[in-house]
Amino acid sequence: MKSIKYLKRKYPAILLAFLTVIFISGCASGSPAKPLEITSEAIDNCQITIPGISREYDLLFLTDTHIIIPETSEEISQEIRDYSAQRLSEFAGESGYASSDLFTALLSYANDTKPDALLLGGDIIDSPSPANMGFLENSLENLEVPYVYTPGNHDWTYPWEYMTETAANTYLTPLSPYMGGNTAIHTLELEDFIIVAVDNSSNQIDPDALETYKSILAQGKPVLLLVHVPFYTPSLLEESSAVWQKSVVLGGGVHGGTYPNDVSAEFMALTTAKDSPVAAVIAGHVHFSHTSNMEGEKEIPQFTGDAGFKGKAARIHISP
Question: Domain of 202: which CATH number?
Answer: 3.60.21.10
Cα four-point dihedral sign 283, 103, 188, 7: negative
Which element (helix H / strand E) includes 302? strand 300-304
Check residue 38 and give its pLDDT. Answer: 84
Round to whole Å and give the CA distance between 311 and 316.
17
Looking only at the bridges linking them, the beta strands covering 278-283 and 300-304 are: parallel
Check residue 37 and give its pLDDT. Answer: 75
Check residue 15 and give its pLDDT. Answer: 32
Check residue 97 and give its pLDDT. Answer: 87
Check residue 50 and give its pLDDT. Answer: 98
- Residue ranges for the chain with pLDDT beneath 50: 1, 6, 8-32
Check residue 90 and give its pLDDT. Answer: 77
Total residue length of the chain: 320
Structurally, how many domains does the chain consist of?
1
Check residue 320 and give its pLDDT. Answer: 97
198 lies in which domain range?
Answer: 3-319
- Asked if 166 and 137 count as a contact pair (C-beta separation under 8 A), the reply is no
pLDDT tens, position by position, 258-315: 999 999 999 999 999 999 999 999 999 999 999 999 999 999 999 999 999 999 999 9
Q: Which of 89, 92, 97 is nearest to 38 (CA)?
A: 97
pTM: 0.89
E-state strands within 142-284: 147-149, 185-189, 194-198, 223-226, 278-283
For 315, list phi and psi in degrees, rounded to 5: -90, 130
